[in-house]
Amino acid sequence: METLPFAWYTDPDVLQIEQQRIFRRSWQYAGHAGELPDAGSRFPCRAGDVPVVVVRDGDGEVRAFLNVCRHRGSVLVADEGQSATIQCPYHAWTYGLDGSLRAAPRAEEGIDLEGLGLRPVQVAAWGRFLFVNPDLEAPPLEGLPDLELDAENLRFHARVPWTLEANWKIAVENYLECYHCPVAHKDFTRRVETDPATYRLEGHDGIWSQYSRARQGEARTQFHLFWPATKVNVYPGPANLSIGPLYPDGPERCSGFLDYFFGEDVSGEDIADLFELDNQVGREDRALVEAVQRGVRSGLLEHGHLMPASEELVAGFQQKVAVALRHA
Ligand code: FES
Ligand SMILES: [Fe+2]
């Protein structure tokens, strides 16, 4: 089976269409409910290249808006915080927590505040995890996996940002197969079963899951990709979960973050141990995906080839990308 055309991993026009048809239309992880403790709490996030602000309003409801001022388009909220209104840092247009425009300096010059409220964005919760979708017509958030663990009782530990010099699809595709694990993640493979007999791949439309277990003990692992670009990971060992989005930052770069959660009783030592393995896998993956980017950029091969079973999830993902790009 052929991969997507290699040109799709470097072409700015392809990225622009992906932003329009994929990232502006789909549900993406924004943050977690713990970031919105009180009325007026807010945090900025993104859906692809769309800046979004998520707030808790006066009634305790979670709302999301395009994080862009209706005056001349400045991004409004740069940092997590709390206050009764959302005020633009540029000319101080001031919005309520319901998004309505409440005040603008010198409004008497002749500007009608009515009708200049913030553009809403869809927001939905999967348990404590908040997702946003800029498309107001999009169907509700659904299709997320059953994690078979009590995510509500995990404690937020840290947000870890990352960047890669690679097209976003190369990062996702690398995430969707463990064909490379025995070759490139030796320590991981020493701890987690990665041979095809025990490493289970499960693809549905828009959710691709990998399940395995630790070589020692019963601990299970799960890695899920929720279309287009939200990762959910459970590593072997004590109660843990990490979740985060991926953003295309250009045809040949992407970034994102992972929010890490651990069980209340997980020791600092166990947490350090998990980060050590995770960081090592991350370093190994960085070298792999950045090397793929340099390879596909060469322009002399039109496409690559996928392994029918081991890269089944990659094929499912690529098919969904192809459908999104070919049909408006
Ligand atoms: S751009 Fe926001 S007040 Fe001017
Ligand atoms: Fe990897």
pLDDT band with cut points at 50, 70 and 90 for residue 251:
very high
Q: How confident is the model at residue 126 (pLDDT cuts 50, 70, 90)?
A: very high
Measured by CA distance, the residue closest to atom 4 of ligand 1 is 91
pLDDT surpasses 70 at 267 = yes
* Nearest C-alpha neighbor of 116 from the set 56, 69, 52: 69
Q: What would the two tokens of residue 106 be?
A: 């010198």
Helix crossing, 168-175 with 268-296: angle to 10°? 130
Indicate yes or no: pTM above 0.85.
Answer: yes
Least distant ligand from the CA of 277: 2
Q: Is the CB of 87 under 6 A from ligand 1?
A: no
The Å distance, Cα 248 to ligand 1 centre, comes to: 27
Average pLDDT over residues 276-291: 97
Query: 3-class DSSP state for residue 207?
Result: strand
Per residue in 185-228, pLDDT (tens digit) is 999 999 999 999 999 999 998 999 999 999 988 889 999 999 99
Q: What are the CA-CA distances from residue 112 to residues 94, 101, 238 (Å)?
A: 13, 10, 57
Asked whether the predicted pLDDT for residue 258 surpasses 90, the reply is yes
From CA 228, how far away is CA 138, in angstroms rounded? Answer: 14
DSSP string, 53-76: EEEE-TTS-EEEEESB-TTT--B-
The ligand 1 atom nearest the CA atom of 88: 2
Q: Is the CB of residue 74 below 6 angstroms from any atom belonging to ligand 1? A: yes
pLDDT > 80? residue 159: yes
Residues 6 or more apart whose CB falls under 8 angstroms from that of 138 comprise 25, 26, 27, 122
Strands (E), the chain: 28-32, 41-47, 50-56, 62-66, 81-82, 86-87, 94-95, 101-103, 120-126, 129-133, 154-164, 200-204, 207-213, 220-226, 230-234, 240-250, 253-263
Q: Is 138 exposed, middle or buried (0-12, 13-18, 19+ CB in 10 A)?
A: middle
- 3-state helix vs strand vs coil in the chain, percent to 5: 25, 35, 40
Ligand 1 pocket, residue 69 CB under 6 Å: yes
What 3-state DSSP class applies to 16?
Answer: helix
Read off the tokens for 253: 């770069």
- More confident call, 75 vs 328: 75
Please give the residue that has the higher pLDDT: either 29 or 148.
29
**Nearest atom in ligand 1 to 93's CA:** 3
220-234: string of b/e by CB count within 10 Å (b at 16+)?
ebbbbbbbbbbbbbb
Confidence of residue 327 (pLDDT cuts 50, 70, 90): low
pLDDT at site 3: 97
Q: What pLDDT score was predicted for residue 218?
A: 80
Kindly state if the Cβ of 102 falls inside 6 Å of ligand 1: no
Sign of the C-alpha dihedral computed for residues 147, 196, 177 and 276 taken in this order: positive
Cβ count within 10 A of residue 145: 17
Average pLDDT score over residue span 276-299: 97
Let me know how long the chain is. 328
pLDDT at 58: 95
Model confidence pLDDT, tens digit, residues 58-80? 999 999 999 999 999 999 999 99
Mean pLDDT, the chain, whole residue set = 96
pLDDT for 219 equals: 85
Mutate to test the pocket of ligand 1, among 69, 94, 116, 118 (most ligand atoms within 8 A of CB): 69
How confident is the model over 3-21, as pLDDT tens digits? 999 999 999 999 999 999 9
Percentage of the chain lying above the pLDDT 90 cut: 95
Q: State both tokens at 240.
A: 């843990």
User: Is 276 touching ligand 1 by the criterion CB < 6 Å?
Assistant: no
pLDDT at 293 over 70: yes
User: Average pLDDT, stretch 270-284?
Assistant: 96
